Amino acid sequence: MKTFLDTVLAKANYQPVRLMSILRDVQAEYRHIPAEAIDILAVALKIPRTQIIAVVEFYSFFHLTPQGRYDILISDSITDRMLDKENLLSYLSSALKVKVGEVRADGLVSLNNTSCTGMCDQGPAGLVNGLALTRLDRPKIDEIAILIEGQTPLQEWPAHLFAVNDNIHKAGLLLNASFEKGTAIQAAFSNGTSSTLAELDYSGLRGRGGAGFKTAMKWRFCAEEKADAHYVVCNADEGEPGTFKDRVLLNSYADQVFEGMTLCAAIIGAKQGFLYLRGEYLHLYDKLQATLAQRRDENLLGTDILGLGLDFDIEICLGAGAYICGEESALIESLEGKPGIPRNRPPYPVSSGYLNKPTVVNNVETFMAAANIAIHGGDWFAKVGTEKSTGSKILSICGDCAKPGIYEYPFGTPIRQILDDCGAEDVMGVQIGGPSGTFISNQELDRKLAFEDLATGGSFIVFNHSRNVLAIAQNFTHFFAHESCGFCTPCRVGTSLLKNQLDKIVNGHGSAGDVAELEKICQLVKSNSHCGLGQTAANPILTTLQRYPDVYEKQLKDISYEPGFDLDGSLAIARRMAHRDDAAAHLSQVEE
Amino acid sequence: MTGTINLDGQTIPFTEGQTIIEAATAAGVYIPHLCHKPGYTPHGSCKLCTVKVNGRNCSACTFPAADGQTVISNNDELAHDRRRITQMLFVEGNHFCPSCEKSGNCQLQGVAYHLQMYDNHFPHFFALREVDASHPDILIDHNRCIFCNLCVRASQEKDGKNVFGIAGRGINKRLVINSPSGQLKDSDIAVDDCAAHICPTGAILIKRTGFQVPIGQRIYDHKQISEVALAAEGGSCSRPAAALAPSQEVAHDK
């Protein structure tokens, strides 16, 4: 073990900030993080053992106990469920003779659920040893079971199991823009970086991650901060269920994204950039590394880029299964080798980000847009869209529609048109912006895609009338409880209370008072939580409760109070022990 | 640079770099808190000190005071939310005040009294948590940990050690000990460490000191936590901290 760890540590330059990549290597080698490795790493990196344990326990893909040599995780997003994921999971469980959440006795295989893997357009999806599996069905599961029992190395598995398609159905301003490598950097320097920033300002580009902060303003603030180092970070931790556009952009438009980062570096004075890639997109890692290597060969990265006197390079950091790391300050903590816990603000990352230096964190799509604006000009972008939302938006659309995939629209496009284009029929409602966004009903389809109306990071999940609103809210609420970082009380305890309270109602133990209480917990979590996760975790309940109160009502019992458990059922053990089963040994749920 | 903020209609001064809670405490205004303690890096996790700053909810312990700010701390809505957040802490762990030797000296209990919390309101989680009694002088009852991080900070910032850490995610968070076995006895904690005495609840206790002052004669049995906190944390009505500190802290100070 010592030899292996020495290699891993040397690769990471003995830098504690690279703890994530070190632990990924250890996990891949030993299928867990052994206690002995923790001791060795703590000494070698000069960090407390508790920091390593904290990181291991924080991220879903790290484990303190061994997982199977084939570690299978099945995506538990609502769209996977709509595609019969639950039946497939039990089929998989019996085919592999392993229970969900367990490791098979011979250690060959382990099986569990995981949060959305970003394959909602080609689910049911999963991961095997971190690599994406798509469009799972019974024949594929039979095939996988044979490969595993035969202990076939993953490299020899047939490629069709890992096929990931882009599914671009409608390209617009950005996806259709002509792009030649290096032109954005050349343009920025020939026009001068300050006038490039002015163009970016004029374009009106706002961050595409969802919050919508003006990009030029963020870059200017960061550039104005005096410090010995500045950093550029591309947030590719696309974890919002139903979102997968960054996956497609990184697969087919990576040069534009990297060039946008380089442009940002030129403007803010950064020498180092990071692409924080969610662990679920491991299948993109080698390809992206090759793209970076190619750019270094072409002098588009490295020292004195294109002879313009700019030094800049990009490193790829992989996450390890934590939705919260999409929050920019949690992402920075993760980059520093720590659990992804959102920081207190102020200070903001633009003044104190990575290693407490000024840092720009932007979404994948934002950097791509910025590169194109540098080439085509601010007006090219600004003349599309609406007054407060210029340009276009790339959407990932999935759920009940004929053509799930990627669509690009000018801001201001009505939702109805988008649904027509993707072949959505008999629509009951649409989840816009993922679980943290808004659930709109079919009465609101004339609303518009825009920061002024329906803002979104890019996720559209369509539901037809065969779907159950409560099941949707329940899936999303469980997701947030699972993904809460647990730092602050209202979110840590509150999301679990929300989950339990909603389950109580869905399981038929709810009364009118329980819905009122549910709503109160929603408000409490929303207004008191530390970061965006907690502040939006109640949205699935609040937005569905507002639009479908009757659905909730139908689920309630007629009495004013109903305990959350089966009282008579709880007495079964006592009856067995007392050898009694007469009428007096039974209790009705409540006195009526 | 100095300035003033408006706190619940009262104009109070602050100096550059002060947080809202620091300015409030200096002016003799108590804002409920558990994870905050003067002299330690602010944490902002318990959220009891949530105040409205220019209409937005912020943690008073981390948010900087700025000239002209309007801060609301004392209204029905915030009092209600603080009571609910405290109740969340009670149902998340296993807090049996009548059988806890910290009773009367416990800040969680003191805050609950202050916020007029008469029940736990939420269903209990009944978490399975263990007791670590391995150390000869110090006991950890994980049932009472509220993840305030004060022991972590005390060990790092005051004791120059790294005895504690918080691991896990969401509701599965747990206090971990930096020792090969994970037990306190194998760590380098000493009974005189600040970290052994800082716990605001009964999660970290010093053995054989529990009932030196009988329950009923302890701090929060007689005084509001607001009064105690302001005196200990540098309010205008300052008295020596030790006179009002929990008995265990008094023992430690000797």
The closest alpha carbon to A500, from A525, A466, A464, belongs to: A525
Does residue A590 form part of some domain?
A: no
Question: Mean per-residue pLDDT for A431-444?
Answer: 96
| Dihedral sign of CA atoms A279, A280, A282, A288 in order | negative
pLDDT of residue A211: 85
Distance (Å, whole) CA A575 – CA A578: 5
Q: Is A372 on the interface with B (CB under 8 A)?
A: no
Out of A50, A492, A497, the one facing B162 most closely (by C-beta) is A50
Residue A564 belongs to a domain: no
pLDDT bracket for residue A70 (50, 70, 90): very high
Shared-domain flag, residues A83 and A99:
yes
Cβ–Cβ gap A489/B45 under 8 Å: yes
DSSP for chain B reads: -EEEEEETTEEEEEETT-BHHHHHHHTT-----SS--TTS-----S-TTEEEETTEEEETTTSBP-TT-EEE-SSHHHHHHHHHHHHHHHHHTT--GGG-TTTTT-HHHHHHHHTT--S--SPP------EE--SSSEEEEGGG-----HHHHIIIIISS---EEEESSGGG-EEEE-STTSSGGGS---TTSGGGT--SSSSEEETT-TTSS-TTSSHHHHS-HHHHHHHHTT-TT---HHHHS-HHHHHHH-
At a CB cut-off of 8 Å and minimum separation 6, what does A45 contact? A9, A14, A15, A16, A19, A22
Q: Are residues A192 and A276 in the same domain?
A: yes
The answer on A417 and A337 residing in a single domain is: no
Question: pLDDT, tens digit, for every residue of A461-472?
Answer: 999 999 999 999
Query: What is the number of alpha carbons within 13 Å of residue A454 lying toward its C-beta?
Result: 26
Asked whether residue A229 falls in the same domain as residue A374, the answer is yes
Q: In terms of pLDDT, which residue wins out, A560 or B224? A: B224
Evaluate whether residue A405 is within a structural domain: yes
Shared domain check, A217 and A282: yes
Is A374 a residue whose pLDDT tops 70?
yes
Chosen for mutation from A55, A325, A348, A492 (greatest number of chain B CBs closer than 10 Å) is A492
CB-CB: which of A54, A482, A524 is closest to B170?
A482
Residues 6+ apart with CB under 8 A from A446: A414, A415, A416
pLDDT of A125 strictly over 50: yes
Average pLDDT, integer, range A530-559: 94
CA A189 to chain centre: 35
Q: What is the pTM of this model?
A: 0.94
- For chain A, how many residues are written? 592
- Average the pLDDT over A387-392 and give the result: 96
Buried b (16+ CB within 10 A) or exposed e, B163-199: bbbbbbbbbebbbbbbbeebebeebebeeebbbbbbb
Does any domain span residue A63? no
What would the pLDDT profile of A241-284 be if each residue is shown by its tens digit? 999 999 999 999 999 999 999 999 999 999 999 999 999 999 99
> A-contacting residues of B 118-137, CB under 8 Å?
122-123, 125
Instruction: Indicate whether A588 pLDDT > 80.
Output: no
Residue A177 lies in a domain: yes
- What's the mean per-residue pLDDT of chain A? 96
Taking 80 as the threshold, does the pLDDT of residue A136 lie above it? Answer: yes
Please answer yes or no on whether B64 and A346 come within 8 Å at the CB atom.
Answer: yes
What pLDDT is stored for residue A578 in this prediction? 92
Q: Is residue A592 assigned to a domain? A: no
Bridge-based pairing of strands A405-410 and A168-170 is parallel
The whole-number pLDDT of residue A591 equals: 56
Q: Per the domain annotation, does A567 fall within a domain?
A: no
Question: Same domain for A144 and A192?
Answer: no
Q: Which residues of A touch B165 (CB under 8 A)?
A: 48, 50-51, 53-54
Q: If residue A142 lies in a helix (H) or strand (E), which one and from where to where?
A: helix A138-149
Q: Examine the domain organization and report whether A154 and A109 are in the same domain.
A: yes
Do residue A530 and residue B47 have CB atoms under 8 angstroms apart? Answer: yes
- Give yes or no: residues A217 and A308 share one domain: yes
Of B234, B236, B231, which is closest to residue B245 (Cα–Cα)?
A: B231
Residue A433 belongs to a domain with what CATH number? 3.10.20.600
- A199 and A214 share one domain: yes
* Residue numbers in B near A322 (CB within 8 A): 169
DSSP code at position A558: S
CATH of the domain at A282: 3.40.50.11540
State whether A494 and B88 contact (CB < 8 Å): yes
- In which residue ranges of chain B is pLDDT below 50? 236-254
Categorize the per-residue pLDDT at A570 as very low, low, confident or very high, splitting at 50, 70 and 90.
confident
pLDDT at residue A495 in the model? 98
Residue whose C-alpha is closest to residue A137's, from A98, A95, A107: A95
Could you count the other beta carbons within 10 Å of the beta carbon of residue A101?
10
What is the average pLDDT across A419-431? Answer: 97
> Can you tell me whether residue A359 is helix, strand or coil?
strand
Residue that terminates a domain, selected from A452, A467, A482: A467
Residue A587 included in any domain: no
The residue in chain B having the minimum alpha-carbon distance to the alpha carbon of residue A47 is: B162
Q: Are the CB atoms for A64 and A33 separated by under 8 Å?
A: yes
Task: Determine the residue among A53, A325, A500 to mutate to test chain B binding: the one whose Cβ has the most chain B Cβ atoms within 10 Å.
Answer: A53
pLDDT of residue B241: 40
**Structural domain range at position A505:** 470-554
**Taking a C-beta distance cutoff of 8 angstroms, is the pair A137, A95 a contact?**
no
| Chain pair A-B, CB pairs under 8 angstroms | 113
The total of other beta-carbon atoms located within 10 Å of residue A151's CB is: 9
Q: Please tell me the total count of domains within chain A.
A: 5
The rounded distance, in Å, linking the Cα atoms of B246 and B130 is 25
Token pair listed for A382 = 């600004």
Same domain, A274 and A371: yes
Query: Hey, is the C-beta of A53 within 8 angstroms of any chain B C-beta?
Result: yes
- Shortest CA gap A50–chain B (Å): 5
**Burial bucket for residue B118 (CB in 10 Å: 0-12, 13-18, 19+):** exposed
User: Residue A170: its pLDDT value, please?
Assistant: 98
Q: Is the pLDDT of residue A38 over 80?
A: yes
A299 pLDDT higher than 60: yes
Same domain, A442 and A478: no
The CATH number of residue A475's host domain is 1.20.1440.230
Q: How far is B80 from chain A (nearest CA, A)?
A: 10
Task: Return the structure tokens found at A190.
Answer: 């020939």
